[in-house]
Structure 1
């Protein structure tokens, strides 16, 4: 796991697998962890890392309900969990789904965990809205489209934007069952002015980005998604730096979801 300070009040850790990010933000003697790394040893050392950096984590936030963003309680079992209203609704509608998907991942990669994933309850936060941390407030912005739920988090005093599974420099936009092309594009356009204000943009998968790089990825992602909406979706333009075999396979997966009506 890699940890980098992008601001005196913000640390980003990146998992060794899928480059999944988690962002710690502090203010006034409190700290929240947004999303989570994946591997057990990463989660095990996270409390010591946060304590050494003087980030007293007492709350967890999640950008959306995909299982790989929900593992913070392994590191901080006593921390309360907050999420946007759409994510809280998805967790309620899909009880046990995240635990089953984590178990399938662990079985595939021979990963042992100290206990099954348990999400005892979450606090639903209004989005758009605000969430207090110490003496400051985080801004919560709707970010659905990749999934049926989602929240982007703007840290105004640090000029850091945490976007969840958007704007990855490694992966093209990924749809999922229940995803929406129109809502994905709306989210990207909503994020654009925040990206322009940011010093750092943290995608859900990949390294933290400066505003110029994030804006370029945003433009490429808009072009790709608009291509998927076109008459010849097969030829939607994959960004030049994201044309690996894995990303071509992801493109075919997106097409299959649209053809089968599992995404709109």
Structure 2
């Protein structure tokens, strides 16, 4: 599972959807981010944490509430949970848990830990919110658009940017909530790079990168996808060409078509409001 590792950082990647998990060790604590996805993979992450934990507190950071990102939370019930306030107050928690149960039933998977929707101990409510754990500093930014409850996290002094389901090299934007707020979220890239000395970006799916030009490229590519899809729908043009460069497009075409349907609804609502 390990795709990137230093003395302080281990990036795990599931065999499914190239979904990433992250374990960060500092002198003050252990941070576990979105542990996933198969039962044996979650246990491998748990064993890694236990190997280095000693007497350090464990913090479980959840970037958003998609089922594939919270599926391993039950293996870390000893951790202090950090997520957005919107994650904490969701009213469809049981629906998300049912998605996990359906996944496990579909593939006859058994887990040795509970399937649960985590209770948030430290809610993130605003951009720039800071949590200091000894010399470890976490700065949070709201990251809405993919879902309405996402967060970015910057871990200092290590310079790690935890991006959740944004800035991926294997996925175009998957827009479940709102395309304009998605653009606003990726628009925070320049501010984050200006305010923080980023040494590693870790997306929720795909490959981590320490190349600044690559981060900017991913931001621009996300912008371009949304804007060109919006223009194509507005002008009633074909838009399937927008995903031709993606390796897994045979399955991802469904997400692309869902994006198109969402943006079409947004445009219709906007045009209706304008006419009024």
Corresponding position: 1:254 with 2:259: yes
Instruction: Say which SS state the counterpart of residue 49 (structure 2) adopts.
Output: helix
1:156-235 paired onto structure 2 within 5 Å: 156-176=156-176, 179-195=177-193, 197-210=197-210, 211-230=212-231, 231-232=234-235, 234-235=238-239
The answer on whether the counterparts of 1:195 and 1:215 sit within 8 Å (CA) in structure 2 is no
Distance 1:39 1:175 in 2: 24
- Structure 2's unaligned 5+ residue stretches are 270-276
2:102 alignment partner in structure 1 = 104
Q: Residue 161 and residue 204 in structure 1: after superposition, are their counterparts in 2 closer, same or farther (change >3 A)?
A: same
1:10 alignment partner in structure 2 = 9
Instruction: Say which SS state the counterpart of residue 82 (structure 1) adopts.
Output: strand
Instruction: Say which SS state the counterpart of residue 154 (structure 2) adopts.
Output: strand
The answer on whether the counterparts of 2:243 and 2:253 sit within 8 Å (CA) in structure 1 is no
The answer on whether the counterparts of 1:228 and 1:234 sit within 8 Å (CA) in structure 2 is no
Q: Residue 115 and residue 53 in structure 1: after superposition, are their counterparts in 2 closer, same or farther (change >3 A)?
A: closer
1:32-43 paired onto structure 2 within 5 Å: 32-43=31-42
Deviation at 1:88, TM superposition (A): 1.5
Deviations 1:11-55 (Å, cap 9, x if unpaired)? 211111111111222323311111112110011122221233558
Q: Residue 187 and residue 143 in structure 1: after superposition, are their counterparts in 2 closer, same or farther (change >3 A)?
A: same
Distance 1:260 1:34 in 2: 33
Instruction: Say which SS state the counterpart of residue 214 (structure 1) adopts.
Output: helix
Where relative contact order (Cα < 8 A, 6+ residues apart) is larger, the structure is 1
Which segment is superposed worse, 50-59 or 200-209? 50-59
Give the ranges of 4+ consecutive aligned residues of structure 1 lying more than 4 Å apart after TM superposition: 53-57
Distance 2:103 2:63 in 1: 20
Q: Give the CA RMSD over aligned residues.
A: 2.6
Q: Residue 79 and residue 86 in structure 1: after superposition, are their counterparts in 2 closer, same or farther (change >3 A)?
A: same
Q: Residue 199 and residue 39 in structure 1: after superposition, are their counterparts in 2 closer, same or farther (change >3 A)?
A: same
- Structure 1's unaligned 5+ residue stretches are none
Q: Residue 236 and residue 158 in structure 1: after superposition, are their counterparts in 2 closer, same or farther (change >3 A)?
A: farther
Which segment is superposed worse, 184-193 or 21-30? 21-30
2:155 alignment partner in structure 1 = 155
Which segment is superposed worse, 236-245 or 104-113? 236-245
1:45 alignment partner in structure 2 = 44
The answer on whether the counterparts of 1:32 and 1:133 sit within 8 Å (CA) in structure 2 is no
Q: Which has the larger radius of gyration?
A: 2
Q: Residue 12 and residue 152 in structure 1: after superposition, are their counterparts in 2 closer, same or farther (change >3 A)?
A: same
Deviation at 1:236, TM superposition (A): 7.1
What is the TM-score when the length of structure 1 is the normalising length? 0.87
Instruction: Say which SS state the counterpart of residue 174 (structure 2) adopts.
Output: coil
Count of aligned residue pairs for this structure pair: 259
1:64 alignment partner in structure 2 = 64
